[in-house]
Chains A and B, each alone.
Chain A
Amino acid sequence: MPKYIALKDPYRESRIYSARTVTAVILVLGLLGIVLARYYTLQITEYEIYRTESERNRVQLQPLPPKRGLIYDRNGVLLADNRPSYILSVVRERVDDLDATLTQLQELVPIADGDLEKFHQKLARSRPYEAVPLRFRLTEKERATLAVNRYRLPGVVVEAQLLRHYPHGTLFSHALGYVGRINEREAAQLDASDYRGTFHVGKTGVEKYYEDILHGDVGYQNVETNAHGRVLRVLERHNPAPGADLTLHLDIRVQRAAYAALGEQRGAVVAIDPRSGGVLALVSTPGFDTNLFVNGISAADYSALRDSPDVPLFNRAVQGQYPPGSTIKPMMGMAGLESGLVTPETTVPDPGWYRLPGDSRRYRDWILRIRGTGHAPQVDLNMAIAESCDVYFYDLARRLTIDRMHDYLQPFGLGQRTGVDTTNERPGVLPSTRWKRAAMAQTWYPGETLSAGIGQGYMLATPMQLAMAASVLASRGERHTPRLLQAIDGRPLVAPPLDPLVAAQQNWQAIYAGMHEVVHGKRGTAKQLAQGIQYEMAGKTGTAQVIGIAQNAVYNEDEVAERNRHHGLFIAFAPYAQPTIAVAVIVENGGGSSAASPIARKVIDTWLLGEARSDG
């Protein structure tokens, strides 16, 4: 390279440099201008948007779940209360890595698969920054473990909440029902804003029926939180309105007596105060501990309950439909008297069996198997009820015909839901020709009328229906819808009675006399109850066949499998002169009414005489 070209020219270099500096300054000013324009857009043009955004970051509307109403029995004994319980929740938005956090939590405290599943369900529906519950009922130790590890678990919250508790879980399992965690289907039906922050809802029984009253109204508070979801202070608060406290007609003493009397047997007891329709006891055995359901029952516990042959989850008192058997005979008697087909003096010849005109089939009386003959040559109404004569009622049923029988029995509460204030009630069956056509598309056969006349065949009734029937009898036709609820927040409910069943007084008296004989008569089917009794009562026994018995076969209790034995039934009311309690008892496969009637006696003893006296 020629040397002369390589000479440096400081002036030229300086000029070039100055030109470049000008370019650089323009570039710098331009780019800083862009940055400034960006800040102007954010801070001035879009100020409102970001101010709202930062406010939403900072301030959160937190739901304050209302306190669920308490439930008392008529004596003021607490049947359902709320206890503080600690809940582990997660705020999705505060958690860096949800899966990692859940894994960490699982190492610290046991979390069941069911909990996780429910958590993910709830998470999918949750609003941003909402605490989603993961584990309920943390133990003292678990809380301590979580507190120690809190610093490395951002977004994990441990909160105290009131949880339902049933001090007498098993005793009132079917009477009260229970609350459980809200499932997907329920969430879709419930008012989403009212149930913000509420994790439980009534699932069955009173808890479900009176959910609206028990739940209360949700409250809200505006809280300032930091980025980790920790509440720093409360800015504004609207208190929740607690749910109303319920007082039930149930009497824990009567309930306990019924439960104890049923013991290990499967069955149900319903006791009603005939003056008000108030349900004094509602027992279905076996029961189960409702507390298990409050926090999501474990799979093992649930399958044990579900698969048990004794179906403990089945509420026999309102869901169980049984042939009422002879317990309908007093109502049948009323139908005969009121229709004018019989008088108390009318007698029917009783050879121990009955035959329809022009039919060779013999409809046997239960006594035939025992005595080889009928109850007496001629049987009147009093004797027919006292000794539970089938032949008398076969004859009456035939003359009454099935449709008139249906119309006379219906006002006693049979064949339709009583409307008691609990869930899952079933209607039973009060057959008629129309019913058979609709249900089975078949015509009615005359022989079926005879079966219906003694409460067999198609006829089915729930213990609740039988208790209502006993109550209508006891109150001489006064009818009330059976009620569990007595008062809300101490204010008694006054429910108007149903249309009464109007009947002649002497007819009631005739039926009462027969039912009195059942217990107090020499040949009454429940005369063993009269032993040591301190009051007078009226009752009617019943036995319901579980399997059909062939024309000439003999039922032998010892030879029949336990599950095929007859159901024992009993309805009663007392005191005889002015009844204050009407009872229906069923003992599944009890063999006969003798399994049921002592239970009714114990229940009535407790109601009339008090707990201590009922032991004898």
Chain B
Amino acid sequence: MGDYVRQMPHQGSQDLARPPSAAMRFHIDVPLLLLLLALTGYGLFVLYSASGQSMPAVVRQGRFFLVAYVVMILGAQISLQRFMRWAPWLYVAGTGTLVAVILVGVGAKGAQRWLEIGGFRFQPSEIMKLVVPMAVAWFLAERILPPRFLAIVTALGLIGLPAVLILAQPDLGTALLIAASGLFVLFMAGISWRYISGAALLAAASAWPVWVFVLKDYQKQRIVTMLDPQSDKLGAGWNIIQSKTAIGSGGWQGKGWMKGTQSQLDFLPESHTDFIIAVLAEEHGMRGVLILMSLYLLILLRGFWIGIGAQTSFGRMMAGSLTLTFFVYIFVNMGMVAGLLPVVGVPLPLVSAGGTSVVTLMAGFGLLMAISTEQRMVAR
């Protein structure tokens, strides 16, 4: 038993001496909560300017945040064992709804992503962002880690099925995000570097056939536009040219809150949703970008830290996957707005206006808090 205690994380052993605080009683990870509050607060501040000083837009987004925080806190109350028990059933139910979406889904912008039940619309693919890594983690947690070949193949099957269903909607962005979240679980499980490098080689080799046979014209166009925005100055290139102009013209200091000409004079498209980072960069300058990036980095590090302290493989793998998925949002969004990556519909997490992604992301943070709670419980 003595040996076991020595394995305990240092901070956990400090907690032993104190009576349980309110935060502990409600399973709240205080550093994470504070970081999230700071991020969402800054997000609302930017949104007010980005939406053309629309208070209703801020109130609307604030309401989303309220719901999302409630979901997060509720999620934190559920024990990890319960999540693990639910994982396979959630997976079966989620995949079933994805099939339903294809059969009876509601279209929007040429893609079927929504399911309407009693006038309430929801997007099953959003929930799958949590369910897929959960199912993969559940599957691997039972097995010896690092996973063997057969386990890897099965896990890839678990990831592939919903990913293909979402791709069929078609929604390339979400399919890739979900596939990534599942693959992150495999990565954190310690899958051999041989497999990883093999997969990387395979991906590189299949790039050309994918370009020729899989990608649709509009998707190819996005990649071409990313590489050379001037090629389609007034069409798809317009967004990138305008967002780069917005970011670049912000300089170090920025033009000042609500004084960004690119965003305030409507040159910047999607300024309050996917391209909101350009508004921030224009009005708050590189300083603002650094502040935002620091908040993100601290959240990511906190996520990894929670993973390291987790007591079970399931918790560890979930923490790692959720953190890395959150990172993917940041990287893809900031990269695409700055012209590093092709334009895909990925919001800037917890800053872009919109409800669905906020709720999913915060549910993920609820799960992280549940993991961190488990760690402290065990420590007690």
Q: Considering the complex, which residues of chain A in the window 16-37 have a beta carbon less than 8 Å from any beta carbon of chain B?
A: 16-21, 24-25, 28-29, 31-32, 34-36
Closest chain-B Cβ to A273's Cβ sits at a distance in Å of 61
The B252-282 residues at the A interface (CB cut-off 8 A) are 252, 261-262, 265-267, 281-282
In the complex, the answer to whether A227 meets B286 with C-beta atoms within 8 Å is no
Chain B positions 210 through 240: 1 when the CB is less than 8 Å from some CB of chain A, otherwise 0: 0000000000000000000000001000000
> Roughly how many angstroms separate A94 CA and B252 CA in the complex, as a whole number?
30
Q: Which listed segment binds B: A49-57, A178-186, A529-537?
A: A49-57
A225 to B250, alpha carbons, bound, how many Å? 19
Known: A28-B327, A51-B248. A20 touches B266 (CB 8 A): no
Contact stretch, chosen from B103-111, B328-336, B359-367 = B328-336
Contact A35 to B340, CB < 8 A, known contacts A21-B308, A43-B286, A232-B265? yes
- Which residues of A have CB within 8 Å of B188? 17, 20-21, 24
Q: Is the CB of B249 within 8 A of A54?
A: yes
Q: Are A17 and B293 in contact (CB under 8 A)?
A: no
Q: Which of A6-14, A210-218, A389-397, A503-511 contacts B (4 or more CB under 8 A)?
A: A6-14
Are B261's CB and A58's CB within 8 A? yes
A21 to B7, CA, bound (A): 18
B162: interface (CB < 8 Å) = no
What separation, in Å, do the CA atoms of A615 and B323 have in the docked complex?
Answer: 103
Q: What's the tally of chain B residues with a CB closer than 8 Å to chain A?
A: 52
For residue A126, CB closer than 8 A to chain B, the reply is no
The answer to whether B320 and A21 touch across the interface, beta carbons within 8 angstroms, is yes
Q: Are A50 and B146 in contact (CB under 8 A)?
A: no
CB contact under 8 A between A20 and B190, given known A44-B286, A47-B251: yes
**B293 in contact with A36 (CB, 8 Å):** yes
The answer to the question of A228 belonging to the interface, with a C-beta cut-off of 8 Å to chain B, is yes
Asked if A39 is an interface residue, CB under 8 A from chain B, the answer is yes
Most chain B CB atoms below 10 A, which of A5, A46, A47: A47
Give Cα distance in the complex from A7 to B307, angstroms. 22
Query: Considering residues A19, A25, A40, which has the most beta carbons from chain B within 10 angstroms of its beta carbon?
Result: A25
Given contacts A21-B304, A54-B249, contact A43 B281 (CB under 8 A): yes
Q: Which residues of B contact A227 (CB under 8 A)?
A: 265-267
Is A50 within 8 A of B244, CB to CB? yes
* Pair A39/B281 contact, Cβ less than 8 Å: yes
Tell me which of B145, B252, B262, B330 contacts A57 (CB under 8 A): B262
Report chain B residues within 8 Å CB of A38: 335, 338-340
Chain B residues with CB below 8 A from A147, complex form: none
User: Is B246 engaged at the interface, CB distance under 8 Å to the other chain?
Assistant: yes
Nearest residue, chain A, Cβ from B249: A54
Instruction: Give chain A residues whose Cβ lies under 8 Å from the Cβ of B300.
Output: 25, 28
Question: Are A8 and B251 in contact (CB-based, < 8 A)?
Answer: no
CB-nearest residue of chain A relative to B287? A43
Is B293 touching A53 in the complex (CB atoms < 8 A)? no
Q: Tell me the residues in window 225-244 of chain A with beta carbons closer than 8 Å to chain B beta carbons.
A: 225-228, 232
The answer to whether B100 has its CB under 8 Å from any CB of chain A is no
Give the nearest-CB partner of A42 in chain B: B248
A387: interface (CB < 8 Å):
no
Our pick among B190, B250, B308 for the contact of A43 (Cβ within 8 Å) is: B250
Could you tell me the distance between the alpha carbons of A19 and B330 in the complex, rounded to whole angstroms? 23
Shortest B286–chain A CB gap in Å is: 4
Cα of A8 to Cα of B146 in the assembled complex, Å: 10
Tell me if B246 and A35 are in contact (CB < 8 A): no
> Does chain B have a CB within 8 A of A605?
no
Q: Are A43 and B265 in contact (CB under 8 A)?
A: no
| Structural contact, A32 and B247, CB atoms closer than 8 A | no
Asked whether B77 is an interface residue with its Cβ less than 8 Å from the other chain, the reply is no
Bound state CA distance, A28 and B323, in angstroms?
10
Chain B residues whose C-beta falls within 8 Å of the C-beta of A12 in the assembled complex? 145
Asked if B313 CB lies within 8 Å of chain A CBs, one says yes
Q: B289 at interface (Cβ–Cβ under 8 A)? A: yes
Please measure, in the bound complex, the distance between the C-alpha atom of A38 and the C-alpha atom of B197, giving whole angstroms.
Answer: 27
**Given known contacts A24-B188, A42-B244, is B335 in contact with A35 (CB within 8 Å)?**
yes
Say whether A611 faces chain B, with CB atoms less than 8 Å apart.
no
Select the residue from A5, A7, A34, A54 with max chain B CB neighbours within 10 A. Answer: A54
B205 close to A (CB within 8 Å): no
Is B346 an interface residue when CB atoms closer than 8 A count as contact? Answer: no
Is residue B377 within 8 Å, beta carbon to beta carbon, of the partner chain? no
For residue A207, CB closer than 8 A to chain B, the reply is no
**Are the CB atoms of A43 and B266 closer together than 8 Å?**
no
Q: Mark B333-370, 1 if CB is under 8 A from A, else 0.
A: 01100111000000000000000000000000000000
Q: Does A380 lie at the interface of the complex (its beta carbon under 8 Å from any beta carbon of B)?
A: no
Given A32-B297, A38-B338, verify A16-B266 contact (CB < 8 Å).
no
Decide if A20 touches B265 in the complex (CB within 8 Å).
no
Whether B320 and A20, one on each chain, are in contact in the complex, defined by CB atoms closer than 8 angstroms, is yes
Residue of B nearest to A49 (CB): B248
Q: Does A142 count as interface, using CB distance less than 8 angstroms?
A: no
Task: Say yes or no: A226 contacts B266, CB within 8 Å.
Answer: yes
Q: For the complex, would chain B's binding face be called helix, strand, loop or mixed by DSSP majority?
A: helix
A93 beta carbon closer than 8 Å to chain B: yes
Cα-based distance from A507 to B262 in the complex (angstroms): 85
Collect the chain A residues with CB atoms within 8 Å of residue B145's CB. 8, 12-13, 16
User: Do B286 and A40 touch (CB < 8 A)?
Assistant: yes
Q: Is B324 an interface residue (CB 8 A)?
A: yes
Shortest A130–chain B CB gap in Å is 15
B262 touches A54 (CB 8 A): yes
- B-contact bits for A191-234, CB 8 A (1 contact / 0 none): 00000000000000000000000000000000011111000100
Are A24 and B324 also in contact (CB < 8 A) when A18-B308, A35-B334, A35-B340 are?
Answer: yes
A-side contacts of B335, CB under 8 Å: 34-35, 38
In the assembled complex, which residues on chain B have CB atoms less than 8 Å from the CB atom of A55?
249, 261
Please, how many angstroms separate the alpha-carbon atoms of A38 and B334 in the complex? 10
Please report the C-alpha to C-alpha distance between residue A43 and residue B331 in the assembled complex, in whole angstroms: 18
Question: What CA separation (Å) do A49 and B250 show in the bound complex?
Answer: 11
| Chain A residues whose C-beta falls within 8 Å of the C-beta of B289 in the assembled complex | 36, 39, 43
Distance from A124 Cβ to chain B, minimum over Cβ atoms (Å):
16
Cα(A589)–Cα(B155), bound, Å? 104
CB-CB under 8 A from A11, the residues of chain B are 7
CB proximity of B159 to chain A, nearest CB, Å: 18
Task: Determine the distance from Cα of A40 to Cα of B285 in the docked complex, in whole angstroms.
Answer: 10
- Contact between A32 and B330, CB atoms less than 8 A apart: yes
B143-162, CB < 8 A from A: 144-146
Residues of chain B within 8 A of A42, CB atoms compared: 244, 247-248, 281, 338
Contact string, A345-387, partner B, CB cutoff 8 A, digits 1/0?
0000000000000000000000000000000000000000000
Distance, CA A5 to CA B144, complexed state (A): 9
In the bound complex, residues from chain B placing their C-beta under 8 Å from that of A35 are 293, 331, 334-335, 338, 340
User: CB-CB < 8 A to B176: which residues of A?
Assistant: none
B187 within 8 A of A: yes
User: Quick one: CB contact mask for A53-92 with B, threshold 8 Å, 1 for yes?
Assistant: 1110110000000000000000000000000000000000
- Closest partner residue, chain A, to B289 (CB atom): A39
Q: Which residues of B contact A54 (CB under 8 A)?
A: 245-246, 248-249, 261-262, 267, 282
> B291 CB to closest chain A CB, in angstroms?
12
Contact of A34 among B307, B308, B316, B340 (CB under 8 A): B340
Task: With both chains docked as a complex, state the minimum distance between the C-beta of B10 and any C-beta of chain A, in angstroms.
Answer: 14
Let me know if A24 and B320 touch, CB within 8 A.
yes
B59: chain A residues within 8 A (beta carbon)? none
Nearest 10 CB-CB pairs, A to B? A50-B248, A16-B190, A54-B249, A227-B266, A226-B265, A42-B248, A227-B267, A50-B249, A43-B286, A58-B261
- Could you name 24 residue pairs across A and B whose Cβ atoms are closer than 8 Å? A13-B145, A13-B316, A14-B316, A16-B146, A17-B190, A20-B190, A25-B300, A32-B293, A36-B290, A38-B340, A39-B286, A42-B244, A42-B281, A43-B247, A44-B251, A47-B249, A50-B248, A54-B249, A54-B261, A55-B249, A57-B245, A57-B265, A58-B265, A226-B267
Known: A17-B313, A24-B320, A35-B293. 5 other contacts (CB 8 A): A32-B331, A36-B290, A50-B245, A58-B265, A227-B265
- Chain A positions within 8 Å of B, measured between CB atoms, are 5-14, 16-21, 24-25, 28-29, 31-32, 34-36, 38-40, 42-44, 46-47, 49-51, 53-55, 57-58, 93, 96, 224-228, 232
